[in-house]
Homo-oligomer: A and B are copies of this chain.
């Protein structure tokens, strides 16, 4: 592509003058400006972002540090939110490929080497090592669903505790006392805080806590497979629960499949609540009652916060908690008590 000096030559001015035109400096005569602008259009010149970044020490790009796969529904919706804020921001989004074969590989170095202006961190398997380094590096950072922060690092997450509380309360209100909880391994912020929310909710409602009603996975995946496997032990209990609260929709759907195979009918035999309010909730039969969190909005806000941090070195990073909301569908009995009281075979 044509470079700035090509333009300068053709316009019969210096490179400096062209640069001034590009960057809207006032000290250029209207006449020269017009001339240069014409040449620029003629040659279809566009300044090279890379070279520009080299001299200014920034790259107009933000990195993403992704600790799970793009195909994960949470991840892909976050991406979609990032994309929305990105439009017309002048920034591009760069996915830094992890060189996981190389023992020397270091994510923070990778960011610095690319002059990335900031980083958004998300995905469910938090990599503590890089995360700490990111905070120390003072590279502007926003964490999604990780409650870490620093001088140049903020975070954003949903109001998990309140969401879980609403779910437990709903189950309680329609008559359930034996409410189980199904979760992946308690290995990151989200799994832990939701679990704590569950325990606290039982407490506030003066419900008994039974260790047997907690089914905890051995890995961090909020997956259907995990839900299916984690449901089995609950169903084999001598005194099984009447309701299951799941830490994600996929877990709930997996759990429902396990019930289905045992011949249990939801919600007649067991009430089920999910978490996320993904598109899937409308697809299951019965439709899944769930705690809604606005993942796309989280993505939008995360990048918004990051761009603010980048553009204002005095910006003090926020800790944002987004509201959650119980969405009642059919999996607890469509309209509450009447349906659930009807007793329960097996």
Contact = CB atoms under 8 A, between A and B. Distances in A.
Given A71-B76, A77-B71, A80-B71, A50 B115 contact: yes
A93 interface: yes
B92 A95 contact: yes
A94 B94 contact: yes
A12 interface: no
Nearest to A285: B285
Contacts of A100: 87-88
B99 A83 contact: no
Contacts of A102: 88
A42 interface: no
A49 interface: yes
A104 to B, nearest CB: 9
Contacts of A237: none
Interface string A50-84: 11011000010100000001110101110110110
A109 interface: yes
B61 A70 contact: no
A313 B110 CA distance: 27
A184 to B, nearest CB: 18
A47 interface: yes
B113 A49 contact: yes
Nearest to A71: B80
A51 to B, nearest CB: 6
A94 B95 contact: yes
A81 to B, nearest CB: 9
Interface stretch (A156-164, A172-180, A192-200, A276-284): A276-284
B114 A50 contact: yes
Interface string A246-264: 0000000100000000000
Nearest to A93: B95
Contacts of A1: 109, 112-113
A80 B48 CA distance: 30
B93 A94 contact: yes
A22 interface: no
Name the residue in A44, A100, A114, A253 with the highest tally of chain B Cβ atoms < 10 Å from its Cβ: A114
Contacts of A92: 94-97, 114
Contacts of A48: 113, 115
A75 B98 CA distance: 21
A296 B50 CA distance: 31
Contacts of A61: 94
Nearest to A70: B79
14 contacts: A1-B112, A50-B54, A70-B70, A70-B79, A71-B76, A71-B79, A76-B76, A79-B79, A83-B95, A89-B97, A90-B97, A92-B94, A93-B94, A224-B279
Q: Give the 8 A-B CB pairs with smallest separation, nearest first.
A: A70-B79, A76-B76, A71-B80, A86-B97, A93-B95, A70-B80, A1-B112, A46-B109
Given A50-B50, A89-B97, 11 more contacts: A44-B109, A46-B110, A46-B113, A50-B115, A70-B77, A70-B80, A83-B97, A86-B97, A93-B94, A94-B94, A224-B279
